[in-house]
Amino acid sequence: MSASTNEELDRLRQRVARRHHWWGWFGLLLFLSLGAFLEGLHGFKVGLYLDPENRLRRELWRLAHAHGTLLALMQLGFAVSVTRFGSWSVRRLKLTSFFLLDAGALIPVGFFLGGAWPSESDPGAGVLLVPVGALLLFSAVALILYSANEPDA
């Protein structure tokens, strides 16, 4: 690998790390706030969240909160590790970063939208974002695993 390619990859690793660092903390702020909002709905015994007929909404919003928070932590973990470990190519790194960021948004947003307008038995159509996000997350994790398995560059 030439020196210029190595420099380009290092710069990209730095850029990706900064991007995931920022999105990680932003995601934490957003989805912890969602958690606080849900606690507030509990505190004020808001019917649209707690009534038995809104069971599905409660479940989906809790899933949005949990997935959003955990995926934000995952972004931070990726930001910390990407500059230190693994053997990356520019292409693989870009793909992994995009997939991870997309999954971090699609999964919790899908759960939230699915719970916003559910039917009696099923989430609203917004939940269709979740399987797309899940597919991207699986792909990102597979790419990270593949890169981690190779000796450090």
Partner 1 sequence: MIASAGLLAVLLVVLLLQLRSALGWWRGLGLVGGGVLLLGGAWGALEWEHRRRPPPPEDQTDARPITSEQCRKCHEGHYQSWHRTYHRSMTREATPANVKADFNDAEHHYLGVTSYLRRTGDRFYLDTIDPRTESAALSQGSSTLRREFTVDRLVGSHWFQQLMTRDADGRYLRLPLAYHLGERRWLHIDGVFLSPDTGRYFSKANVWNETCLYCHNTRPVQNPLSGPEGNAGYDTEVGELGIACEACHGAAERHVRAHRNPASRLAQHYSARADPTIVNPARLPVARADEVCGRCHGGVMPRLEHWNPLTLADPFLAGRELRRFWHVTFSEAEMRQISARQGTKLAVEPRPDHLDGRFWGDGTPLTTALEYLGVKLSACYQDGQGKLSCLTCHSMHHGDPDHQVKDGLRHTNTVCYGCHEKYRERLVEHTHHPANSPGSLCYNCHMPHQVFSLMTTHRSHRIDVPRVKDSLGTGKPHACNLCHLDKSLGWTQEQLGKWYGTRPVPLSDDDKHLASSVLHLLQSDARSRGVVAGAFSWPPAQQASGRDWPGLLLTRFLEHERYQVVRYTAYKALRSLHGFAPGDYNFQGAPAERANQVRALRRALESQTRPEPSRYPYLPLTRTGRFADDALDRLLKSRNDPDVSVNE
Residues that bind partner 1 (CB under 8 A): 52-53, 55, 91, 94-95, 98, 102, 106, 119-122, 124-126, 128-129, 131-132, 135-136
Q: Kindly tell me the number of DSSP H helices and DSSP E strands found in the chain.
A: 5, 0
Least CB distance to partner 1 at residue 125 (A): 4
Q: Which lies closer to partner 1 via its Cβ, residue 54 or residue 83?
A: 54
Q: Which lies closer to partner 1 via its Cβ, residue 2 or residue 119?
A: 119
Least CB distance to partner 1 at residue 38 (A): 20
